[in-house]
Amino acid sequence: MRWPSKISHNRINLFLLSLIVVFSFSTFSYGGKSFKQQSGKHFIVYFDDTIDDAWAHDVLNQAEKYYDTIAETIGYARYQNFWTWDERVKIVVYANQKDFMDQTHQPSWSTGFVVRDYKLFSSRVIISYLQEQDFLTNVLPHEISHLILRDFIGFDQKIPLWFDEGIAQFFENGRREEAYKVMKLLVKNDKALPIIDLFNKDIHAEKEDWKVLQFYAQSVSVVDFLISKYGSESFGELCRSLKDGDEFEDALKKTYNPSLDSAQTLEQKWLNFIRNSSKND
């Protein structure tokens, strides 16, 4: 189903420092809720009309910045640039958690999620609700990363869950530093997940909170290790190899040989990185 077409357009040019983009402002109703809209180059923000226009404008600006950074890091930027016009990603922001849950039937712990074919829309959508602290700095980059990675690697290819979540957290504000501290402690006490378990773990089935924390922290920590040690150029190659259908370990070998020739070498070098690195201690 396409987005309701009865939208009143009221174009206003905004003077922006660096973006040469015309934003359009519109309002419409859906499911008893009234939404406004702001459009940029790659994103359209639909927000509850009780939410401040300036906040939605920040969301749009931030989303565009994240797009550039994330696309560059995973090597997507050089290949594709099709999140424009009809392909723009929709970001839907409800006024509060209750509206979000009523409309999307997400569990109460969910702060946002990504869908490619949500019934309300015709394409990629990020759905969340107004969260003063976290939205701009964490929810937004996290969900945009999932979408870009999916688009780049392809919906038919399997992406290891830890890798997907590791990249998404990598772009969150402060997440790497937090993970580093957690992993430093776990590694010291011999409580890190063996790399093979990390590669194969389905965290959705996990019931113990600390194991969920361990999985997420280790995921972003290994991604952080790969990018900070070997650079984003190689990381882009790794993603490209996955896009071509290689299994993760084969992709790893292809990209980082001879430095990393197996999952075990990766584990060993990552452990050393955690043990010896003193960042943020």
Least distance from Zn ion to the Cβ atom of residue 83, Å: 19
* DSSP labels, 172-237: STTHHHHHHHHHHHHHHTT-SPPHHHHHH--GGG---HHHHHHHHHHHHHHHHHHHHHHHHHHHHH
Shortest distance (Å) from residue 128 CB to Zn ion: 12
Nearest approach in angstroms of CB 144 to Zn ion is: 11
Query: Which residues would be at the binding site for Zn ion (CB under 5 A)?
Result: 165, 168
* Residue with smaller CB distance to Zn ion, 144 or 274: 144
Residue 166 or 236: the one with the smaller Cβ distance to Zn ion is 166
Question: What's the maximum distance between 2 C-alpha atoms anywhere in the chain?
Answer: 60
CB of 137 to Zn ion, least distance (A): 15
Nearest residue relative to Zn ion (C-beta): 168
Percent helix, percent strand, percent coil in the chain, to nearest 5: 50, 15, 35
Smallest gap from residue 251 Cβ to Zn ion (A): 21
Q: Which own/partner contact pairs does 57-61 have at CB distance under 8 Å and 24+ positions apart?
A: 57/14, 57/23, 58/136, 59/91, 59/93, 59/135, 59/136, 59/140, 60/23, 60/91, 61/16, 61/19
> Cβ closer to Zn ion: 9 or 204?
204
Q: Which is nearer to Zn ion, 55 or 113 (CB)?
A: 113
Q: Which is nearer to Zn ion, 99 or 143 (CB)?
A: 143
Is the CB of 167 or the CB of 187 nearer to Zn ion? 167
CA distance readout (Å), 35 to 120, 135, 168, 232: 13, 18, 28, 38
Distance of closest approach, residue 93 Cβ to Zn ion, in angstroms: 18
Task: Answer whether the bond into residue 160 is a cis peptide, omega within 30°.
Answer: no
